[in-house]
Structure 1
Amino acid sequence: MIVERAYAHVASYEEREWPWSVPCVRELLAEGLRFTAPVTFLVGENGSGKSTLVEALAEGFGLDSWGGSHDWRYASHRAKSVLGQRIRFDPAPRGRRMISSWSARKGFFLRAETALDALEREGFAPGSVSHGEGFLAAFRGKFLQPGLYVMDEPEAALSFSSCLELVGHLDQLVAAGGQVICATHSPLLTALPGADIVEVGEHGMRRVAWHDLALVDHWRRYLADPQSYLRHVLG
């Protein structure tokens, strides 16, 4: 583990204005977010605030908001978000030096939409392969050392079998001393043994077991009987 808790202090804010209008952001301000496992998945519907949260966590750690590593800037002209500027971390024992020393900090922010461009600009060229294969090549070649790895929907470019391979890479990354915070819609990724799952929504944030996740329940019921869902959206 690199960090045990993320928090942010804001003297005053208008609850109707973004990002303070997002329930999970208000809970972060009130209580912080504790990390109890090397891999934390943030799940929730579109608009629930999970991407806002992971982007702010990445920025607070010093990672570029458009994707990239700590010692490199993809969009350096872009200022940190109003929330990212305020994020602070309580380090785990193994992460104290990394948090206290800017030069010792290691990590990567992976956004699905900018991942390959960011990796290529950092000198990692996956070559003439598909988007998904390039994604996995990045894990094989770059996600190797202790650090904080923040990800926003990495499953977007991956097939079922590639998602399974990604689960294996995450397990190896953790074994090497890495910590992962990942926003996802994937019931496959969130099934990683030992991972902590935080469901984000109107309630704010709450920890949920994999088999109790709404997304797992919906996929289970959809695969059992697609028509029970499709009849509501097809003319």
Structure 2
Amino acid sequence: MIVERAYAHLSSYDEDVWPWSVPCVRQLIEEGLRFTAPVTFLVGENGSGKSTLVEALAEGFGLDSYGGSHDWRYASPRGKSALGERMRFDAAPRGRRMATSWAARKGFFLRAETALDALGREGLSPDSVSHGEGFLAAFRGKFLHTGLYVLDEPEAALSFASCLELIGHIDRLAKEGGQVVCATHSPLLTALPGADIVEVGDHGMRRVAWRELGVVDHWRRYLADPHAYLRHILDA
């Protein structure tokens, strides 16, 4: 483990103002988020705050919110987010130097919206490959060091088979001493054995088993009978 707990201390904040209005952010401030396994998945609906959390985690660790590896000093033109500026960590022994020293820091932040630009900055020539192949190039070429890897919906550009390859990369990193925190909608990724799953929503954050995830239940029922869903959406 690199990081054991993430938290953000504020003496006061306005609960009606974003991001403090997001339930999972308020819970982070009040309780923090403990990491109990080398791989943690944050799962929730659009707007639940999972991307806000992972971006702040990356920023707090010193990774550029634009995306990229530990090789890049912070360069995002918009600066750190309000939550990212306040993010702090209880680091495991192997992560203490990484959390405080740029020279010792190892890791990567991948966010779906800016991934191709960030990969180009990393020298991976994404214009010469498909979107999904660009993501896979990052996994193969940058997921190499023992460090903290923060991913925001990496499945966005990936096929079923490519998601399975990503699971293999994540598992290898974890077994070699790395740590992965991933925001996702994917029932494929979250099925990784031994991963900790945190469901994010109006309730804040809570740990759930894979089979109890709402997204798993919806995919199971949709694949069994698509019409049961589509009849409520499509015109008669």
TM-score (normalizing by structure 2) = 0.96
Name the counterpart of 2:52. 52
Counterpart in the other structure of 2:168: 168
Which residue matches 1:113? 113
Q: Residues 130-209 of structure 1 correspond to what in structure 2 (within 5 A)?
A: 130-209=130-209
Q: Say whether the 8 Å CA contact 2:66–2:76 is kept in structure 1.
A: no
Measured in 2, the distance between the counterparts of 1:104 and 1:133 equals 29
**Are the aligned partners of 1:146 and 1:176 in contact in 2 as well (CA < 8 Å)?**
yes
Partner of 2:219: 219
**1:216 corresponds to which letter in structure 2?**
V
Q: Give me the whole-angstrom Cα distance separating, in 1, the residues matched to 2:75 and 2:113.
A: 14
Greater CA deviation, 135-144 or 199-208?
135-144
Give the counterpart letter for 1:94 in structure 2: R
Alpha-carbon distance between aligned partners in 1 of 2:127 and 2:77, rounded to the nearest angstrom = 28
Q: Deviation at 1:127?
A: 6.4
Separation (CA, whole Å) in 1 of partners of 2:111 and 2:85: 19
Matched-pair contact (CA < 8 Å) for 1:74–1:118: no
Confirm whether residue 94 of structure 1 aligns to residue 100 of structure 2: no
Shift, 1:66, TM fit: 1.2
Equivalent AA in structure 2 for residue 91 of structure 1? A
Give the % identical residues. 82
Distance in 2 separating the partners of 1:174 and 1:205: 23
What residue number does 2:3 align with? Answer: 3
Give the distance between the partners of 1:24 and 1:130, measured in 2 at CA: 34
Distance 1:157 1:101 in 2: 33
Provide the aligned length of Structure 1 versus Structure 2.
235
Unaligned residue ranges in structure 1 (runs of 5+): none
Question: Deviation of residue 114 (structure 1)?
Answer: 1.3
Give me the whole-angstrom Cα distance separating, in 1, the residues matched to 2:128 and 2:76.
Answer: 28
2:103 corresponds to which letter in structure 1? S
Which piece of structure 1 moves more, 121-130 or 29-38? Answer: 121-130
Question: What's the CA shift for 1:65?
Answer: 0.9
Cα shift at 1:74? 7.3
Q: Distance in 2 between matches of 1:97 and 1:76?
A: 23
* Root mean square deviation of aligned Cα: 1.3
1:231 aligns to what? 231
Moved more, 19-28 or 165-174: 165-174
SS at 1:41 equivalent: strand
Matching residue of 1:84: 84
Partners of 1:82 and 1:113 lie apart in 2 by 20
Tell me how far apart the structure 2 counterparts of residues 175 and 126 of structure 1 sit (CA, whole Å): 28
